[in-house]
Amino acid sequence: MEKKNIREVSPEEMAAFLSVNGEKVFRAKQIEEWIWQKGVQDFEEMTNLPKSSRELLKATYYFDKLLPDCIQTASDGTTKTAWLLNDGNRIESVLIPGNEKYTVCVSSQAGCQLGCRFCATGALGFKRNLTVGEIVDQVFHARKEAECRSSSLSNIVFMGMGEPLLNYDHVLSAIQRITSEKGLGMSPSRITVSTAGIPAKIRQLADDRVRFNLAVSLHSAKENVRSQLMPVNRAYPLSELAASLIYFVEKTGTRPTFEYLLLHHINDSLEDARALADYCKQFPVKINIIEYNPVEGSEFRHSPDKQRDAFVQFLENRNMVVHIRKSKGKDIDAACGQLANKRKD
């Protein structure tokens, strides 16, 4: 009999399975706690279950767990891990220090199909969506590592490999597990999901009344520039994206964030800043200015500090809420997809 992924089995299914096999049904709750609260990945760690129960589980199910393939730690404490999946694909997560607590950047897909020109993940192509377990596993590992550093995990950002809204069901189910009292019990306000801008899915988030934060990778408010940087803009132009964000704000009352990667001579002029300010008049929004992490062989360059500061000053003079996100992990393969690319066969 082919084994099933235990993290894809509902509590009801597990209770029925235990009953059919002569086991106590209440053990389904114990199993649920071991998997989603304590993050075990070995049936032998479920120590309050009889050995016979553990052997039954072992014979029937498996864990879709992550195995560390390569770990890089920067001088600033940023740690990037390339994980090997059960099927041989690779993903990445990044543990980022800040204010005595840690943020983890997690992946939602193995590879990505959107092909943004500045992103190393695009070179991998799209492999598949991650399971709920594979997503949550990245958080478990990050929490454990933060604790090993005598700290705690305070924030989760879905800004790693893949487009989260193209793995909509699994991403939302993973967040439900992370925020549930039967899971990790984290606040939704500590979670941010970043999208390249899929209007129908942004509307679906609004209809589902999500309570986590939404970030949009904008990178230009000029139609032609954004289309060159992000092919997704050709399918979903800026006007459609704006309409979906207006809908999202009206439904949820949540202010989204624009992620804006400054690229020298591409999108960092005052004219670009003016276009961004005009676009942002349509809804309340925060702007994160991101410093570019160079990728070997890339055509793009880091925007000089003077140019960045002038760009930010222009926006602030127009009452925009702007935050500069300092680049972390500069002395490792920190750009998204960079390490996984190096590890691929």
For the annotated catalytic residues, the residue numbers are 92, 336
Closest by Cα among 237, 258, 232, 265 to 116: 232
| Residue among 132, 138, 173, 170 nearest 157 (CA) | 138
Give 16: exposed, middle or buried? Use CB within 10 Å, 0-12, 13-18, 19+.
middle
**H or E segment at 193?**
strand 191-195
Using CA atoms, how far apart are residues 36 and 186, in angstroms rounded to an integer?
12
Residues 6+ apart with CB under 8 A from 89: 110, 111, 127, 128
Question: What are the tokens at 255?
Answer: 């202010």
Which residues does 54 contact at the CB level (< 8 Å), separation at least 6? 43, 44, 46
Q: How many CB atoms lie within 10 A of CB 344?
A: 14
- Yes or no: say if 57 and 48 are a contact pair by the CB < 8 Å rule: no
| Residue 14 per-residue DSSP state | H
**Rounded to the nearest 5 degrees, what angle is found at the Cα of 144, between the Cα atoms of 138 and 146?**
100
CA 201, chain centre distance (Å): 16
Nearest CA-CA partner of 255 in 300, 200, 320: 320
Q: Are 209 and 274 in contact (CB under 8 A)?
A: no
What is the number of alpha carbons within 13 Å of residue 20 lying toward its C-beta? 7
